[in-house]
Amino acid sequence: AQSVTQLGSHVSVSEGALVLLRCNYSSSVPPYLFWYVQYPNQGLQLLLKYTSAATLVKGINGFEAEFKKSETSFHLTKPSAHMSDAAEYFCAARKTSYDKVIFGPGTSLSVIP
Amino acid sequence: DADVTQTPRNRITKTGKRIMLECSQTKGHDRMYWYRQDPGLGLRLIYYSFDVKDINKGEISDGYSVSRQAQAKFSLSLESAIPNQTALYFCATSEQGPYTGELFFGEGSRLTVL
């Protein structure tokens, strides 16, 4: 069965520092991959998605992610953290466009002033 | 107004009570989903529906049932609530057909079972 893992349930960074949130997937074929963000007391919203058009994907709010097939990874980065980036981040995957979406356990990002 | 609306947003109930969580959407999407969020476990799929006549079990359907009353409405029921069903529940929608799978979420329904 396909699974999604996120290394680190909680990550803290200083304001202005690099944000790196890790995601690995298990799949025999490159899946569709997503990053969602959940701000406090809100539902999830899409940050970015990989659909095989390009390995480096740019999303909203300055985030980007790189798909690396050899590492089965889809890590999320942002060059400079803002206080407003504090949230829960979820990596998700689906094997085909008709499959269900499987979510990772999430990483809570704290940004220290 | 939100595209995906969940009611109630918060509910406290007692063990053994029947609870219904409702979801309505104005996005015109055919596919609707119910997820459950628990700390450290991410979101787990309870049920999903690809159209009004198509309802499918997800990873954790035991103890839950659903009803798709119309394209825009998808309800989740707990027939006899138990404490380990205390969680944050999300309804989501997505488009039909070959698509890249973006889900659109409601703001969640927080359920506490005492």
DSSP 8-state code for residue A83: G
Tell me the CA distances in angstroms from A106 to A8, A49, A85, one per residue in order.
8, 16, 15
Average pLDDT value for residue range B62-88? 96
pLDDT band at B2; cut points 50, 70, 90: confident
Look at residue A98 in the predicted model and tell me its pLDDT.
Answer: 67
Judge contact between B81 and B100, C-beta under 8 A. Answer: no
Is the CB of residue A113 less than 8 Å away from at least one CB of chain B? no
Q: CA–CA separation, B19 vs B8, rounded Å?
A: 10
The minimal CB distance from B42 to the residues A41, A97, A106 is found for: A106
Judge contact between B78 and B23, C-beta under 8 A. Answer: no
Q: Do B102 and A46 touch (CB under 8 A)?
A: yes
Binding-face residues of A in 46-75 toward B, CB within 8 A: 46, 49, 51
A77-92 pLDDT tens trace = 999 999 999 999 999 9
Look at residue A58 in the predicted model and tell me its pLDDT.
Answer: 94
Judge contact between A10 and A111, C-beta under 8 A. Answer: no
* pLDDT at A7 exceeding the cut of 60: yes
Look at residue B99 in the predicted model and tell me its pLDDT.
Answer: 58
B14-30 pLDDT tens trace = 999 999 999 999 999 98
Q: CA–CA separation, B7 vs B5, rounded Å?
A: 7
